[in-house]
């Protein structure tokens, strides 16, 4: 299982939010490149980046910070937040991003998602963010009448093989991930699933790892790492089955 340290970008700074609310931002670093390098030095195999300003604006707002991160590390980087067109996908891949995450576009422009899959294969993921089981888009500001499971099956038909699933109610609150919903989504969709939202302890990491046979292949960690509740090397021991 892969542990993805998260770098959430707001105005060029590394922050964490609670339930995606921009007014709840806590700044952890003013240097995204150094933050990414620190995670790599602690053993990270993949970095997860979210352009928060981009998610709300509908187009990337932290491109320079993303370039800093990509250039600072040797491990692959995946990026989401405000990616709504093929030009943005192509640009992110061109600057060295390994995988691009499409979120709201899966609802607003499914034809673009299908085209991105056709062009770039598994370098394109879909992020499915749910509040009480229903999909939220536009920086989590709008909830649509579509369940996470329905959307997962739809994007699978477009060619998507991997999704990031976030339970918004758990995000940034250190309250534990929604294991039941994550496992159910993986089993029902047959997609590879990366769990996000609320992973806050070594016990949580073990619980997510226990879902590997269902198709859950990773966990994104943010606040727990930044707050020191979990040390990345300890998390990696469990994720690799060495504990």
Told to judge if 8 belongs to the known catalytic residues of this protein, a careful annotator would answer yes
Closest among 219, 180, 228, 214 to 198, alpha carbons compared: 219
Closest among 218, 223, 224, 215 to 238, alpha carbons compared: 218
At residue 10's C-alpha, the angle toward residues 4 and 14, to 5°, is 45
Structure-token match 């469990």, residue found? 238
Told to judge if 129 belongs to the known catalytic residues of this protein, a careful annotator would answer yes
Q: b/e per residue, 28-44, with b = 16+ CB within 10 A?
A: beeebbebbbbbbeebb
Other Cβ atoms closer than 10 A to 118: 11
Catalytic residue among 129, 167, 171, 204: 129
Tell me which residues are annotated as active site.
8, 129
């Amino acid at each position: 299982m892969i542990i993805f340290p998260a770098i959430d970008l707001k105005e060029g700074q590394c922050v964490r939010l609670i339930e995606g609310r921009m007014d709840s931002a806590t700044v952890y670093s003013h240097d995204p490149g150094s933050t990414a390098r620190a995670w790599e030095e602690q053993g990270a195999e993949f970095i997860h980046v979210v352009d928060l300003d981009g998610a709300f604006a509908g187009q990337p707002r932290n491109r320079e910070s993303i370039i800093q991160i990509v250039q600072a590390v040797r491990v692959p980087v995946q990026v989401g937040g405000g990616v709504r067109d093929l030009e943005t996908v192509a640009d992110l891949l061109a600057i060295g991003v390994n995988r691009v995450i499409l979120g709201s576009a899966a609802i607003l422009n499914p034809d673009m998602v299908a085209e991105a899959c056709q062009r770039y294969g598994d370098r394109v993921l879909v992020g499915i963010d749910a509040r009480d089981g229903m999909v939220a888009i536009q920086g989590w500001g709008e909830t649509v009448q579509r369940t996470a499971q329905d959307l997962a099956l739809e994007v699978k038909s477009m060619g998507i093989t991997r999704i990031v699933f976030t339970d918004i109610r758990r995000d940034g609150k250190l309250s534990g991930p929604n294991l039941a919903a994550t496992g159910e989504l993986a089993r029902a969709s047959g997609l590879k699933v990366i769990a996000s939202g609320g992973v806050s302890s070594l016990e949580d990491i073990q619980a997510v790892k226990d879902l590997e046979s269902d198709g859950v292949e990773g966990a994104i960690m943010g606040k727990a790492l930044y707050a020191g509740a979990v040390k990345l090397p300890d998390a990696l021991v469990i994720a690799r089955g060495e504990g």
